[in-house]
Structure formats: structure tokens, C-alpha cells
Amino acid sequence: MTQRTATVDLGALGVRRRHMAALLEVDVTRARCGLRVANRGGRSTVSFLAWLVKNVASSLALHPAAGASGACINVSIMIERQVADRRIALPLLITNAATRAVEEIEAQIVLARREPVRAASVVFGREESLGCRLYDRLPRLLRKRLLDRALSNPLRTPAAMGQAVITSVGMGGRIRGWFIPKSMHPVCIGIGAVTPKAVVMNGRIEPRQVLHMTVLADQTIVDDAPGSRWISTLVRAMENGAELSIN
């Protein structure tokens, strides 16, 4: 089964989600300083992505009404993995992210990036199976119905795909703007570039590092007010460099 087939089918279902979109500018100057300190001298290795996963999961744990159903928060991210002679972006599920240390999350990401995927054709980050090959041969309408039925299970879906997904496709460039992804997840976060920007702080203009971030929350699951409170908690944690040792 081709990865592209699954991507197209999931994208078509994701369009049907009634996501509320928030286009944010998040001051990550303090967090990036904390990350440099954490990685200084080889004492630890913490990436921006692992730190973000931890903050998203921790904030969702404080606001279950934002769409993070279940006792544990699972977050899906997209990472490049070696598949035969190519590198392909595949999903990686970070389970129980709210209760795990940032370093532990980073270790899982690094291990997944280094470990090659043996199958030349994969779907959802798993190796190809007989069921996948049969799925690939079905008519598109039937494939969508099967996916829709499979993803409608409120208990199985969070365990398999996570309650939230983070896509960092926008970090590859230096575009001062946002992109709006599509997703089947109740919560979807699209990460853009971090760019320098002059910001007024305490009555003075200071240079700051600003992250362009898009947050999508499914309005069929969460009302506007709970969603806004969760976003406020997430942004405040990110701007304060939460989960990092900052003096």
C-alpha cells in the first residue's frame, strides 16, 4: 500500500472536521535560551519538537474539555524515516506524553529517526500487511467508508493516532506566516518558522524570537471558551519556557 493513498484518504476525511483555527505568534525567546542551556556541554539533548510535545500534552491534561479524551494524552508527530533508499515523513505516536520527561520524549524521537523501516511501502508508520495491500485495491469511496468507521471508535482512535497531532512542515523555511493543516485529530498544531521580530515589552522595543503557530480545535468536540482557555494555557507555558530549567 502506498503512503500517498492513505494520506489522500485521511486528508479527505479531515476536511469534514469543523476545526476552529487560531493563528498565533508565540514568543519563544526564553524557551530557546533554555534549550541552549539544557544542551550545553552535552549534559542533555532536548529538541524544540520534544519540548513542544511535552507542553501540548501537559496543557491538554489540564483542559480535558479541549478534546483530549482518555486517561492518558497521546500526541502524534511527523518525522522523516529511512524507507529503503528514501526518507519519508511518517507518523510517530508519543504515548503518555504528559507524564513523561522531555528527555524521554526526545530519546524516542531520536531512536525512531535512526531506525530504518524495512518495508518499502508503509502506512500510518507501520509496515505493509495483507490488509493494507487489499485496502489499496479498493475503490476510493469504499476506502473512505472503512476509514471513517475505523476512526469513529472513541476508545481505539486516541490509542492508535493520539488526541493531538503536531506537524512542523513550516519550520523548513523562513516564511513569516502561517499554514493551516488538515487533520482527523481533535487537536492539530501546525508549526511555522521562528523569526526575529521587534516586540514592545515593558514600554521598550526589544528583539524577540517569534514562532508562527496554527492551532486547530474540533468544534464538534470542544466549545470556543474551553478551547480558548486551553490555548491560553499552552501559549503561557511556551512563553515561560515551561518544562525547562531556566534561571
Q: Give pLDDT, residue 123.
A: 47
Confidence of residue 29 (pLDDT cuts 50, 70, 90): very high
pLDDT in tens, 41-51: 666 688 999 99
Pair 92, 77: CB distance under 8 Å: yes
Strand, helix or coil at 71?
Answer: coil
User: How many CB atoms are located within 10 Å of the residue 60 CB?
Assistant: 25
Pair 123, 132: CB distance under 8 Å: yes
Q: How many whole angstroms separate alpha carbon 138 and alpha carbon 200? A: 56
Confidence of residue 136 (pLDDT cuts 50, 70, 90): low
pLDDT of 12 strictly over 80: no
Q: Give pLDDT, residue 157.
A: 65
Domains observed in the chain:
3-239 (3.30.559.10)
Model-level pTM? Answer: 0.80
pLDDT of 1 strictly over 50: no
Q: Give pLDDT, residue 57.
A: 94
pLDDT in tens, 147-182: 666 666 655 666 678 889 998 866 666 667 888 888
